Amino acid sequence: MVVMISASFNLFQTGLEIINIIKLLRLYSENLGDPFNSISNYGWNNLLRTELLPLSFTKDKMQWIPNYLHHLIGGGMLYTAMKEWYKEHNFPLPWLFSSVTVMGQYLFNEVMETGPHEGYSVDEVVDIYIFDLGGIILFRFDSINEFFSKTLNLSDWSLQSYVTKWEGKCRTVFFN
């Protein structure tokens, strides 16, 4: 539960203060429910150049960076950490509990991230269907986990939350 709340609500510190959850869920489910329509509206070429492949290098067209670093690698690392936690606490099928926990966090995070945007969006389609699921699948391999944990010494501080003394705002290390 801490994973879902901390990782999802970190978006509030970006200025998204008041949200209409019902509206966001509707927009979100429309985009995930009909991903090919969302992609067609965005354009397949745009999708490849800005979301999937490192082919664009201007600030407004480099969504592929957080897709690979945050969703694929970071999400895979979170999946592994949760799987190890569930295993350590003797849950049956720790990989399944971890997958459900992490995907729940991803889905909640994407709902919060959608914001007041109206219409089709490929952001959540690419994040959920390609990079978030891809991270779970990729990090199911021991060799991948070993490479990132031992060779690169990958660590996660993003869930470390704190309250600012003067403003009284909740923040997470992820954005600071």
Q: Is 121:46 a contact under the CB 8 Å cutoff?
A: no
pLDDT of residue 6: 57
Cα gap 171→106, rounded to integer Å: 18
Mapped onto helix, strand or coil, the DSSP state of residue 134 is helix
Q: Provide block-wise average pLDDT over 10 residues at a time, the chain (176 residues).
A: 55 50 71 89 92 89 91 93 95 96 84 67 90 96 93 75 68 52
pLDDT of residue 77: 93
DSSP per-residue string spanning 21-81: HHHHHHHHHHHHHSHHHHHHHH-HHHIIIIIISTT--SGGG-THHHIIIIIIIIHHHHHHH
Write the single-letter amino acid at 135. G
Q: What is the Cβ-side half-sphere exposure of residue 159, based on CA atoms within 13 angstroms?
A: 18
Mapped onto helix, strand or coil, the DSSP state of residue 163 is strand
Q: What is the DSSP letter of 126?
A: H
